[in-house]
Structure 1
Amino acid sequence: MDENKLRFGVGVLVIAAIGIGVILTFLFGAFPAILNREYTLTVYFDSAEGINTNSPVLRDGVKIGRVSDIQLRPEGGVLLTLAMDAQHKMTHQYIPQIGIGSLITGDSKLEFRKAEPRELEKLLGDDLDLVDRTYSNEEYFAYGQKLDDPFSLLFGMEDEMRSTFRSIRGAGDAVKDIGQSIQSLVRDVRGVIGIDPTPAPPPTAFPPGVPRQSSIGMGHNASMFATTTQHRMMPGPSWARPVSLVSRSSADSSSQYAIQTVAFANQNQFAPPGSQVVPPGTMPPRSLQQGLTPPVGTQRTAGQPTLLDLQNEAIETLEELQGAIRDARSILGNEQIRRGLTDSISRFPGVLDQATDTLKTTQKTFDSFADVGKQFEQVGSVAEQALNELKTTAGDTLESFQATAKNVEAITEPIGRRSEELVEQVLRSLANVDNALIQIDTFGQTLNSSDGTIKRLLEDDELYYEIRRTVENIEAATARVRPILDDVRVFTDKIARDPRQLGVRGALGKRPTGAGLK
């Protein structure tokens, strides 16, 4: 009896283990759609980050399939094999896209979305007839899309924001330079047209190539000559004649300007060594004579500028200045241009105010970016806490699973030691069950095919009614026999109590015949 109970318990345990294995198989997705009709699609993606086998495939948020296989290509990219539900047919208007499923866990989702006509034209090219066709079984297409991670986009904006800041700073500096240039231009224009009688102070530096001579003496340098406390040039000597612009009439009656310059009586190059040539009626200082004529016994070096060269350069410079002033007068003489220039100058403060407002708006935008960054930091801290809690929960679950595994191991260890014997018993039990099923099958076939009593009972109504009448007669006879049986029971009871009533006491007694009196 104990052995039979043990065999029964082992059989129940084996059947329960098989059932649990089947349930776990369906639960963890080894055969998630065993009863559904499916068709396969092969899609190429540049990256399949966050996608695993049996990941759901969605369309408009509804699951329509799963990822059945993932293949990494040697030349780059990933091929995903999708097992799609045959009940949900899709046209080529829907294109696959991998997006972010959860910012906390980092899982991705594969979803078919409806594309715009321009995007379909770009993807399909000349095959626009495929747009209204449904996807077929084992179809391959290579336009899977992968959306970027928002955190990666945010971190990748660092260089762009830095370049934006630099551009804004450069724009501010450019606006500042433009303002200064416009101010100087306005000052020059006003000085030229006579609006502002006070011209800008002259520069303190000498133009390149001009020798820095002094009329004060050899003991004073050029800086003392060029710069004073008021940033103005020292007055020239009384003997020097200034350079002036005079007007004369030409043959074509056009007004022109000429340069009239008187420096010395002799317009040639330097005088011979030791000679002193001065203009008539003038007596230049000794220091100036020493600066203009080379010392006695010295040779003039090649490339040293002469007075005539300086005079020619001054004439060319003044002619260029004369042409520039003439062009400026011709431009400023136009009333429309002058009015437009005045309007531009009057509008420039408003432009500066708009630029200031734009910079303020940009500053507010960057402040908003800073607030968004702080919010992302908070989201990151919350995600980190959630991950820590998830790790703790996973650790506890792992410990519980390990304890459960140890308990199951302790239970299954005796079964493992007697596994061969148990397998033989299970095989024998299965063989007996098989024989019993064969016998039951044979009995059923015989019952259905033969002309026996049971079949006649099932098919012959007359036999049924005969059996029914026989049973009724037996019941009636039993009812009549019952009083007789009761009388027999009473009679036998009386005989058993007093056999003399029937005169058969000696026959029923145990005393042998001829034994005499007692």
Structure 2
Amino acid sequence: MNEQGYRFGVGVLVVASMVIAVILILFFGAAPNLFKEQYVVTIRFDAAPGVATDTPVRKNGVRIGRVKSIKLRENEALLTSGGVDLLLELDSQYRVYAGEQPQIGIESIITNDAVVEFRPPSSANLLTRFDGVAGSPANGILDAPEKTAAEAILKDGDFLSGGTVAPEPMAAFGEMQGNFASTLNSIERAANEITTLSMDFRTALGGSNGELQRITRNIDETFGNLNKALVNIDSLVSDPNLKETIAILSERLPALMKRADNVLGQTETMFATFEGVGQGLGGVVDNLQDFTEPFGQQGGEIASSVSSTVNNLDSLITDLRGVVGPARQLIQRITNGEGTLALLMEDPELYYSVVNSLQNIDTITRRLIPIVEDARVLSDKAARNPGGIFRDAVLGSRGGLK
């Protein structure tokens, strides 16, 4: 190949390299993007550290545009900051709301590249930025017009204020440096306390007079005493005499319970019998009262006629008193619970005494029937002919009451 051919090849290579470079610049954002529809908004920040032309703009981590230009505002006074206005070129396919919080942060700690982000706002941030706008008073509450202004979508030429700057990580480390010394002091104190604790623990473990050694000896003695107690219990339980006694008791217990039940039944029957005896004695006394009442009313008129009857009644009452006394003592002994029931069941003499008393009561009751009949006839005769009684008493009895 001649020299002209070499020159032509070099020229083609240079032109191709330039075309490729221009294409790469257009695609990677170093020059304006001519293939997408975009709109421009202005955001005011107090400062814009690390921000330059073509700094990326992101929303939820997705790139939606770039910084087109930076405008530093002049100070109105020495001690005031004019702030920085950033012109953001945003892709029209992404919607950005006026209420979203624009913030400058660090995209990479290594390269210290800045990034502009639109972040979801908090309620306090919305109240600070939109309270008192859209003609509403600043009353500390977001009214409907203020909420509408916050929910508006940014369009070409809009202006927003209130941009913030996120704390730099290195600055945060610088602020932490002041507290690092106190943290080290706290760690040192904790290490000293751990050392003291380990020494106390070593003292408790070491030597025959240590606290842990004493506790160990006490536990050993306790287990020894417990072992002795278990041995004694085992010897007691394994005693054949005790086992035999328990077996005999378990065999005889049902019979004892049955016998106790029978004794209780007999006791109830005996109490019912004595209750009937008491009621019978009460009836006898009532009959005597009914019998003597007419004599009390006409005692002067018939005294001479019934003298023999009164003597018989006196002897009858004497016999009744002699019978009622032992019966009353017997009832008192039963009700006082002084072992009378046991004596009645075990002592034959006491049982026969009670039987004899009941027989005497029956005999006296039989003897009382004719006397009561005579008294009834006498009272009937006295009621029908009181004068005849006195006449018979003066002239002499004709033999019998009838």
TM-score greater than 0.5 by the shorter chain: no
Larger CA Rg, structure 1 vs 2: 2
Higher relative contact order (CA 8 A, sep 6+): 2
Q: TM-score range, shorter-chain basis?
A: 0.3 to 0.5
Return the structure number with greater helix share.
Answer: 2
